[in-house]
Structure 1
C-alpha cells in the first residue's frame, strides 16, 4: 500500500493537545537533517510553509494563526539515520558529478574558443593574401609594373 502525502499520519496514543488558538493539533514529520522523520505536533491552521518561488510570485497563504510545535519523537531511529546518510551521500555524489561536468564543459568551451580564434586568424590571413594578390593583378592590368621589373 502506498501512502499519499496528504494522508494524516497515525496519531500517537494519548491526549490530543490543543493549540494556543483553540484548535486541535495535527501530527507532522520533519524532513530536515537534524530531525529526519521525527514526528511533532503542530497547529492545524498552519497548512504549509510556502516555497521561495511561491513567495516571489506572491502565491502565499495567509500566515498561520500560531506556530505551535511540540516534538513527539526525541530521537532519530537507526534506519532513518542510515536513510539520511544515503540521501546526503547521493546529494554529494550528484554535486560532485555536476562540478565535474561543469569543469569538463568549461575546458571544452575553452578549446572551442581557441579553435574558433585559430580559424578566424587563418581566414584573416587568407583574405589578406587574396587582397594582396588582387592589388597586384589590378596594378598589372593598369600597366604599372612592379619596380623590380622596370
Structure 2
C-alpha cells in the first residue's frame, strides 16, 4: 500500500491511528485515479483521517518550460511542459469527528495563539508610545537649540 506522504514510524511500525482502518478498500475517485490516505492538519478537522484524490490541488501550478540544447546557441529550443493531470476535489472522510484529545489540543493551541497575539499587540503599543516619546524629545531639543540660536543672533 502506498501513501501520499510520510507517516511517523515508531519502534514497532506505523502507529495504528496513522493507517487506514483495517479492511478498508481504497476508493476510486471521480476522475478514475485511486485515492490516497491522508490525515488532516487543518485546525477545523485536525487528526481526522480521509481519502483524497491524488490530483487534488488548491491551485494549479503551471509547468515551466525547460530549455534544452547547448548554451552557446542564439536560439534555445524549449521543451514543451507535460500537461498536468486534471484538478480534482474528491475527499471522502473516514473519521466524521475530531477526537477529544485533538479538540483539547486545538483549544490549547488557539489559547496560546491568542495570548501571543495579545502580547504582540501590547508590545506594538509600547513601541509606538516609546517612538512617539523619543520624537517629542527630539522636537523639543531642536526647538530649544533654535531658540538659543535666535537669542545669540539677537545679542550680536
**Please, what TM-score do these two structures have when normalized by structure 1?**
0.72
- 2:19 equivalent among 5, 10, 22: 10
Deviations 1:107-133 (CA, angstroms, capped at 9, x unpaired): 101111110111011010011011112
Q: How does 1:139-150 map to 2 (within 5 A)?
A: none
Q: Say if 2:55 and 2:85, in contact at 8 Å, map to a contact too.
A: no
**Cα distance, 1:6 vs. partner?**
3.3
In structure 1, distance between residues paired with 2:85 and 2:113 = 32
In structure 2, distance between residues paired with 1:108 and 1:63 = 55
1:109 lines up with 2:120 in the alignment: no
- 2:54 equivalent among 44, 56, 60: 44
Larger Rg: 1
Q: How does 1:92-103 map to 2 (within 5 A)?
A: 92-103=114-125
Q: Say if 2:35 and 2:52, in contact at 8 Å, map to a contact too.
A: yes
In structure 2, distance between residues paired with 1:25 and 1:132 = 88
**Please, what TM-score do these two structures have when normalized by structure 2?**
0.69
Seen in structure 2, the aligned counterparts of structure 1 residues 104 and 123 have a Cα distance that, compared at 3 Å, is same
In structure 2, distance between residues paired with 1:104 and 1:64 = 52
In structure 2, distance between residues paired with 1:18 and 1:70 = 10
- 2:34 equivalent among 24, 28, 45: 24
TM-align CA RMSD: 2.3
- Residue 134 of structure 2 aligns to a residue whose secondary structure is helix
**Cα distance, 1:49 vs. partner?**
3.5
Aligned equivalent of 1:142 = none
Q: Which runs of 5+ in 1 are unaligned?
A: 135-150
Give runs of ≥4 in structure 1 deviating > 3 Å. Answer: 59-64
Seen in structure 2, the aligned counterparts of structure 1 residues 15 and 77 have a Cα distance that, compared at 3 Å, is same
**Cα distance, 1:69 vs. partner?**
0.8
Q: Which runs of 5+ in 2 are unaligned?
A: 8-17, 64-83
In structure 1, distance between residues paired with 2:48 and 2:27 = 17
1:79 lines up with 2:89 in the alignment: no
- Report how many aligned residue pairs link the two structures: 122
- Residue 122 of structure 1 aligns to a residue whose secondary structure is helix
